[in-house]
Amino acid sequence: MENLQGKTAVVTGGASGIGRASALALAQRGVNLVVADIDEAGALAVAHEITQAGGQAVGVKCDVGQDRAFEELKALVLARFGGVAIVMNNVGVLTRGLPEQIPLEEWQRILNLNLLSVVRSNLAFLPLLLAQGEGHIVNTASFAGLFTYSFDRAPYAAAKAAIIQISEGLALYLRPKGIGVTVLCPGPVKTNIMSTLRSFGPPTDTRGPGAMFRLMEADEVGEQVVEAIVSNRFMLPTDEAVRELLVRRARDWDGFIEEQIVNPQIIVPAAKLT
């Protein structure tokens, strides 16, 4: 999708972090925005920021865990802008705890918000994109979905891995029909995802994907997202260094797991969390 001027985008989880940055970057290219988030005040603030800069935007409260959420979002975008070309599924909710400590209900909550929200989005918006034969979908996954570096965030990692698989299937189906698909896999990025963190059981060491990955600003990622849409890029890791790491894992998976066990990157020791 080389020409974004006048197109309309829906961004869920758009009130902060990568969602906000992507919405602002798209608005700078002349895209109309529907900024959706459970944080209504935050969504309205981002929309106001866009309109103050001369763009077109609306902010709306949206609970992506509800079955009707995306049908209501679709009705809003059609009423306000008459159509949609870009859908960014960006919601990410984190939980932590030892595998035997995280209850079933928390697994269900995380999978509902992080994974089934993408399913709901597809059911609502894919018919529109297919009918017009044009559009682009961006699904936000994570380094945690590409490889395992921690054991205390299993529900989040499982959901993000599933999003990568869903996105690959969508690319096979939709690209021949003129619709692009990008799966965004962020490494360390400054966002507020930790603000909604739920913890179960004793504190655990906070592990990172590796010391080679710098902590990025969300605005950098927003620009990457726009460029991926324009160039119709599928896999978008925020740091290209992850490719070599994945090659190492593919060459020796057992050795890779052993390395993660013996030499984990501890960002915050559990002792500091007590």
Residues with a catalytic annotation lie at: 156
Alpha carbon separation from 227 to 62, 64, 119, 145 (Å, rounded): 26, 26, 25, 22
Sign for the pseudo-dihedral over CA of 234, 225, 122, 30 = negative
DSSP bridge pairs for 95: 198
Question: Token pair of 158, please?
Answer: 């499982």
195 contacts: CB under 8 Å, gap ≥ 6 = none
Q: Rounded CA gap, 218 and 221, in Å?
A: 5
Distance of CA 34 to the CA centre of its chain: 16
In the chain, the amino acid numbered 169 is G
**CA dihedral of residues 17, 197, 158, 216 (deg, nearest 10):** 30
DSSP class per residue in 2-55? ---TT-EEEEETTTSHHHHHHHHHHHHTT-EEEEEES-HHHHHHHHHHHHHTT-
Q: Rounded CA gap, 130 and 60, in Å?
A: 25
